[in-house]
Chains A and B, each alone.
Chain A
Amino acid sequence: MSILDEIRDYMVKLDSEKVTNLVRKAIEQGFKPVEILNALTEGIRRVGDLYEKGEYFVSDLLMSAEIFKEAMTHLEPLILKETAGETIARVVIGTVEGDIHDIGKDLVITMLKVNGFEVIDLGVDVPSQKFVEAVKQYKPDILGMSALLTTTMWKMKEVIDALKREGLRDKVKIIIGGAVITEEFAKEIGADAYAKDAVDAIKVCKKLIEEQRKTK
């Protein structure tokens, strides 16, 4: 079994020590950072599949995100060095007001950066008006919003409605995500897209940018 397969499999087993050690070893052995990233990403994707089947739980998803974050402390500098200057698009992202969970958002940010996106992180507990101001200031291609709680998810609609009122809605693509978010909810509130996890978020963001460039 190759070291990349081991990285993937230990990610699925949620063994953080093994994953980190193997990532360091793979770097030393000269594997390309993007290959190592792909192995980690594949591991996370399989964790997501097990979650969809009901065999893994939210705690397992969070642990895989934590392991990924730790592994990325070794990889991210190398990947960013390789992709320096190449930006696909600009993303502004934050967790909505009243919600201070950030682990999912931070995972998406890491994945976006290593996939060539420029990311502005507004943090957590972001008031709706601050999202609007960030869209005005940074003119992002994509606005990403995260919420973990059913009590805070409706803040996303507040942001979308505020953007409409300010005539900004059609200037930005909106993607939403979080444990309580669904595709139906995204459609209901007028978001452009929903991502079920960080891996999906990258695919969705790339697709949004592609569509945006076709219409320009």
Chain B
Amino acid sequence: MSTIWERAVEVALGKKSDEIPIVLQVYALVLKRFARVKELEYYRNPVLQLQAKIAFQKRFPEVINIGMGTFPEYGEFVGPIPTAFGGELRWFDDQPPVVIKYPIREPEDVDRLAEAGIPEVTAGVAGEILKRLEYFYDWFPRDLREEYGYIDGAIMPGTVVEGAALAMGYDKFLIWMRRYPDVIHKWLKLATEWSLRYCKAQEEIVGKCRVMFVTDHTPHMVGGKLFLEFVLPYLNKIFRFCNKGIRIWHNEGRVGANLELVDKIDAEVWHFGPFDDETQVRAKTHFCLMGNLHPPEFAKLTPKEIEEKVRKLVLKVGIGKFWLSTGGGMAPGTPFRNIDALIRAAKKLERELTKR
């Protein structure tokens, strides 16, 4: 009998259309509630993180908690590229860290970084993340790994083109695309090469890539020619690292006129947000769609309203090549009874739409 993960993969690849996999991204903002700690304490404590992730899974056996949900959290989203190249994070008491010191302020800084060569994969926060990945590899329960596709072969490079942007600030990055395109290309080559080595280092711990989760919001910040020149090739270079696996691209921002262009992203699943019309996304792209209930709204609705929203969404998007989720990571303060309502609604619709 196939596992929940295997069935979700079949749905993603269009080989199965009688199930609505529920695939969420539940991480620090919610999981810190497990031990009733503030976020900083959660980030500092890998043992607590592991316990919280396992507890969430046991609480919701119907759900796959992807990406940061079952990966060690220590600036893993914004931190790897900027800090590998000399940037610094600021940590807060009860919110995610941010990049506070950029390694790149002037175009000459890119020349300096290029001369210094590609940093070690253990530079910056990546070093600590890799140590914690070893710990997770050692201790994450075998049954959960097999049933939900966790840990073994699960690679998370963090943000890629966006990571490169965070090393200098979005505004500079986006303006330099027009002002200093050669500098941006030079920088993206460095950042991407480091990122590939970081993926390789993860593979050495968890095994050959079977699933890759990449967060990158630049496709909704940059349109047309700039997207094709500065975003797509570098993003795809990372996705092709895992070309025999299932690749999930996370971006809940509105892509609007970029819809036909983002279709060229080499991923099987798009974790998308509520800002693009679902019918248009379905029609214009090849992806298995993962989403797209608006997280802050999902957190505030009643269970009954959630059941209605889920129904409306699934009837619009259709069953098959669709993973039900929030359109982004789950918001802090989301009541768990809302996740129960989501699951109930999905199972009811499955029975109804497949006449089981």
A interface with B by C-beta (< 8 Å)? 14, 53-60, 62-63, 66, 98-103, 125, 148-149, 151-152, 154
Contacts and interface: CB of A to CB of B under 8 A. Distances in A.
Given A54-B254, A55-B257, A60 B223 contact: yes
B98 A62 contact: no
Given A56-B223, A58-B221, A99 B98 contact: yes
A54 B177 contact: no
Interface stretch (B106-114, B132-140, B167-175): B167-175
A72 to B, nearest CB: 16
SS class, residues of chain B in contact with chain A? mixed
B299 to A, nearest CB: 12
Contact of A59 (B97, B102, B222): B222
Contact of A54 (B92, B221, B257): B257
Given A54-B257, A125-B100, A154 B95 contact: yes
A152 B258 CA distance: 27
29 contacts: A14-B178, A54-B254, A54-B256, A55-B223, A55-B256, A57-B220, A57-B221, A57-B223, A58-B170, A58-B174, A58-B222, A59-B177, A59-B178, A59-B222, A59-B223, A62-B175, A63-B174, A63-B178, A98-B90, A99-B98, A100-B100, A100-B169, A101-B170, A103-B175, A148-B170, A151-B95, A151-B97, A152-B95, A154-B95
A98 B91 CA distance: 9
Nearest to A53: B256
B226 interface: yes
Interface string B246-267: 0000000010111000000000
B98 A59 contact: no
A101 B171 contact: yes
Contacts of A125: 100
Given A103-B171, A125-B100, A148-B170, A59 B221 contact: yes
B96 interface: yes
Interface of B: 90, 92, 95-98, 100, 102, 169-171, 174-175, 177-178, 220-223, 226, 254, 256-258
A93 B102 CA distance: 23
Which of A53, A59, A149 has the most B CB atoms < 10 Å from its CB?
A59
A28 to B, nearest CB: 26
A14 B224 CA distance: 14
A53 B223 CA distance: 13
Contacts of A98: 90, 92, 95, 98, 100
Contacts of A59: 174-175, 177-178, 221-223, 226
B222 A57 contact: yes
A60 B174 CA distance: 8
Contacts of B170: 58, 62, 101, 148
Given A53-B256, A62-B171, A98-B95, 17 more contacts: A14-B178, A54-B254, A54-B257, A57-B223, A57-B258, A58-B170, A59-B221, A59-B223, A62-B170, A63-B178, A66-B175, A100-B169, A101-B169, A101-B170, A101-B171, A151-B96, A151-B97
Nearest to B92: A98
B162 to A, nearest CB: 12
A14 B171 CA distance: 15
A72 B101 CA distance: 29
Contacts of A66: 175
A93 B175 CA distance: 23
